[in-house]
Structures are given as structure tokens and as C-alpha cells.
Amino acid sequence: MTTDIVEIYWNARPHLQRLGVNLRRSGIDDRGQHVLAEVRKSLVEVFPGTPVLVRFAVHAKAPANDLRILRRGIEQLGCVDEVRAAIEHALQQAECEAA
């Protein structure tokens, strides 16, 4: 039996830049770490009771491929909108906290 793990790959770079997060070669600043933690929490809530592995990328890539969701290795296209909404909600909260 395989474990039902959800893997989420998200290119956070444009969103972090929009929030003014410092993306240094040595790592993401504390504010950026806080934003990513909030996004991680919101994504876990989308899949209650299921282990969620969130992989953040901060490299420039094709904007159309900024979000991928896999469950048992199979791409989950049906939940992309819900996951994207959860990410946007977490980003808005982080933006409000910073203001």
C-alpha cells in the first residue's frame, strides 16, 4: 500500500518579489520565510488528513508551469484552482501583516 502524499511544487519567486522579499544567494530573508510558512499552512488545510510535501522554487521558469500538484505521482489538475486560491489567500494575509 502506498502512502497518500500530496506533493506541491510552486515557483514562489514572482510572488515573493511582489511582496518585496529579499531573495539572496545565501537564502530567503526572515520575512520571506514567514510568508512561505503561511503558504505551507494554507496548503496543508486544503488536504486535511493527508501528508503534504510543499516544494518551493525561487528560480525563473516558465510562468505557465508555476504550480504542479501530484498525488501518488499523478498530476492533479482538478484541485489547481483551490490550491492557487489558498496560496493567494496566504499571500494576502502576509501582505496585510507587513503593512
Q: In residues, how long is the chain?
A: 99
Does residue 7 carry a pLDDT above 90? yes
pLDDT digit string, tens, across residues 33-62: 999 999 999 999 999 999 999 998 866 556
Q: Which residue has the cell 499571500?
A: 91
- d(CA 45, CA 94) in angstroms, rounded, equals 17
What is the tally of structural domains in the chain? 1
Amino acid making up residue 69: I
Domain span holding position 74: 6-98
What count of Cα atoms within 13 Å lies in the side-chain half-sphere of residue 85? 6
pLDDT band at 91 (very low <50, low <70, confident <90, very high): very high
Domain assignment of residue 1, yes or no: no
Burial 16-39, CB ≥16 within 10 A → b, else e: beeeebeeeeeebeebbeebbebb
pTM: 0.84
The per-residue pLDDT for 60 is 59
